[in-house]
Amino acid sequence: MSSHQSPATSHPFPPRHDWTLDEVERLFARPFMELVYEAATVHRAWFDPSEVQKSQLLSIKTGGCAENCGYCSQSASFDTGLKAEKLMDATAVIAEAMAAKAGGASRFCMGAAWRELKDRDTPKLATMIAGVKALGLETCATLGMLTADQARQLKAAGLDYYNHNLDTGPEYYAQVVTTRTYQDRLDTLQYVREAGMSTCCGGIVGMGEARRDRASLLHALATLPVHPDSLPVNALVPVTGTPLGERMLAEGQIDPIEFVRTVAVARIVCPKAMVRLSAGRETMSAEMQALCFLAGANSIFVGGKLLTTPNPEQDEDAALFALLDLRPMEPAAVEAAA
């Protein structure tokens, strides 16, 4: 167990797996001040509120994905002007990880625009993972769907976390993607857990879904056999040429207070998770991010780009941390090795 968490034994806010959808909806409906206060209380019981984990995400294989996720610039189904590229060389990826560590990141995430991992690519990925791990960084990858054997191979290579988002609640899912099922996503998460890796799993808000759909996403996460170790909350970044991006450009983005509510509810229903402000931070004010941290967010992506979308630059985040008296969290992998 990492030093920034309290033991679960006799904890005042133990993780629950029996949440009902109605209960989660009622959390969303609570008066905003009360909701944020409760989320902050839960957060402080499990974490140091002044620590925020810095992760960096690199696209190791960009574009040409066979999935039709309606928000994604990398889908081959949409004309977004993005050129498909091949899988990066392991040496180049490890060099990027070294730069990320020098910039203060404690976790390095590698993302490939694939529907599923192919066995032929596994050895090259294993080399990348081992090289990043040797730097003392936590390792994370998002490579699409996995088989049970592939999950075991990634674990053997040193992968700490596997990201596989549910995207939205099951009722709204068909409005987002039709080339894979909700059960496909749940199966991959099961293989990851069985292989002994930690899960990184969250979703995207602001895609035209109703509040009940946001509650349904968090209900799905909170009733998994094991809560996600890392729970990214993404705000849709509109990409011209994608159906959901065009919809957001026409209808407007999610209300900032509703986004903070989502973060707060995520913290309450998954109290031990690292709740990450992921995509969309580029357009969030310092005040909105401060509310998110108050409501229980304790992880961000750093670096100027998230796969193909913009993200705040390093100096902007340094200024934000100084303004809010925040400090970077140490990597758990380094603590365990100490």
Residues forming the active site: 65, 69, 72, 109, 140, 200, 276
CA distance 55 to 70: 25
Residue 48: CA count within 13 A, CB half-sphere: 13
Q: Which of 68, 88, 93, 91 is nearest to 79 (CA)?
A: 68
- Helix (H) / strand (E) element for 334: namely helix 332-337
Cβ atoms within 10 Å of 159's Cβ, excluding its own: 28
Tokens for 238, please give them.
Answer: 């509109």
How far apart, in whole angstroms, are the C-alpha atoms of residue 73 and residue 243? 10
The Cα–Cα gap between 179 and 201 comes to 19
How far is it, in rounded angstroms, from Cα 178 to Cα 304?
31
DSSP string, 69-103: -TT-TTBTTS--SPPP-PPPPHHHHHHHHHHHHHT
String of DSSP letters for 48-60: -TTEEEEEEEEEE
Q: Can you read off the two tokens belonging to residue 208? A: 């035209």
Q: Are 49 and 40 in contact (CB under 8 A)?
A: yes
H/E stretch holding 258 = helix 256-269
Cβ distance 155 to 122 under 8 Å? no
> For the chain, how long is the longest CA-to-CA vector?
54
Residue 155 parent element (H or E): helix 148-157
DSSP class per residue in 215-243: HHHHHHHHTSSS--SEEEEEEP---TTSH
Coil vs helix vs strand at 149: helix
DSSP 8-class letter at 263? H
